[in-house]
Homo-oligomer: A and B are copies of this chain.
Amino acid sequence: MSSPIIFYDLPSTLALNAWSPNTWKARYALNIKGVAYKTEWVEYPDIEALAKKIGAPATGAKADGSPLYTLPIINDPNTGKVVADSFLIAEYLDTTYPSGTTLFPPGTKPLMAALEAGVTGSIGSIFPHQLATSCYILNPSSEKYFRVTREAAYGKKIEEFSPAGAQRDADWAKAKEGLVAVDDWLSKNGGGKFVMGNTVTYADGILGAWLTWIKVTNGESSAAWKDFASWHGGRWGTYIINLQPFATVL
């Protein structure tokens, strides 16, 4: 490849900028694959116009049935290909750049899709908290878009998604309980640093992205992340440290 891939990601007010779990999956995939890329930051209200301009496909449908355009999107000037959706981006990278690190060892795509469902299911109870926390770190135009769409989906104000108190505490406790299973799955990897052992794969893009979302939106020094990172023998905190070489924001 001669030119860096253009990676469209969602910005924030954080020093790190990157925060979205869905775009983090693609960013981890790019970093693990080891291809050259550069980030272009796109606020929520500007995604649709960008997607239409560069020919990115819709990834879903809005409530009214019209096409929904989402990040991550990559635009590869070396091939002219534009790809949306993190899983499809990872597949594209393996197909197009086979000499880089393999994201999907043979036959593992169905299993990694199962892993993602398992991981998101295990922490689903803290999604209301996470959505609120995410809203608070967005720039004004994205914050407005995010607030309107999420408040419509949940039927209440962002501030009411997960107010401090017994319900929020119960939600975190439920995530801790849900992650017991994920901890058990990872314990079968022979003690390696990554999901599949000592070989980094797209499975780490998946798990890494969801954990990174929790870490960066709450803040690395927050009580919430420090507590989370300590669960299950410190597995999650240690895991994110091990994955740090692939967490570069270029």
B residues in contact with A189, CB < 8 Å: 107, 109-110
Please judge, given known A-B contacts A114-B118, A115-B114, whether A107 and B201 are in contact too, CB under 8 Å.
yes
0/1 per residue, A99-140, Cβ < 8 Å to B? Answer: 000000111111111110111010000000000000000000
B residues in contact with A105, CB < 8 Å: 105-108
CB of A181 closer than 8 Å to a CB of B: yes
**A111 x B197 contact (CB < 8 A):** no
CB of A203 closer than 8 Å to a CB of B: yes
B residues in contact with A184, CB < 8 Å: 113
| Nearest CB on B from A98, distance (A) | 15
| Nearest CB on B from A189, distance (A) | 5
In the complex, A185 Cα to B118 Cα: how many Å? 12
Q: Contacting A114 at CB < 8 Å: which of B87, B109, B114, B197?
A: B114
In the complex, A184 Cα to B186 Cα: how many Å? 23
Number of copies: 2
**B197 x A107 contact (CB < 8 A):** yes
Q: Contacting A110 at CB < 8 Å: which of B110, B113, B195?
A: B195
In the complex, A1 Cα to B105 Cα: how many Å? 31
CB of A3 closer than 8 Å to a CB of B: no
Residues of A63-88 whose CB lies within 8 A of B? 87
B residues in contact with A119, CB < 8 Å: 114
In the complex, A28 Cα to B195 Cα: how many Å? 25
CB of A243 closer than 8 Å to a CB of B: no
CB of A188 closer than 8 Å to a CB of B: yes
A106, A111, A115, A189 — most chain B CB neighbours (10 Å): A111
B residues in contact with A107, CB < 8 Å: 105, 189, 192, 195-197, 199, 201
B residues in contact with A121, CB < 8 Å: 121
**A181 x B117 contact (CB < 8 A):** yes
Closest B residue to A201 by CB, please name it.
Answer: B107
| Nearest CB on B from A179, distance (A) | 12
Closest B residue to A197 by CB, please name it.
Answer: B107
**B185 x A114 contact (CB < 8 A):** yes
Q: Contacting A118 at CB < 8 Å: which of B106, B118, B186?
A: B118
Residues of A176-205 whose CB lies within 8 A of B? 181-182, 184-190, 192, 195-197, 199, 201, 203
Q: Enumerate chain A interface residues (CB-CB to B < 8 A).
A: 87, 105-115, 117-119, 121, 181-182, 184-190, 192, 195-197, 199, 201, 203
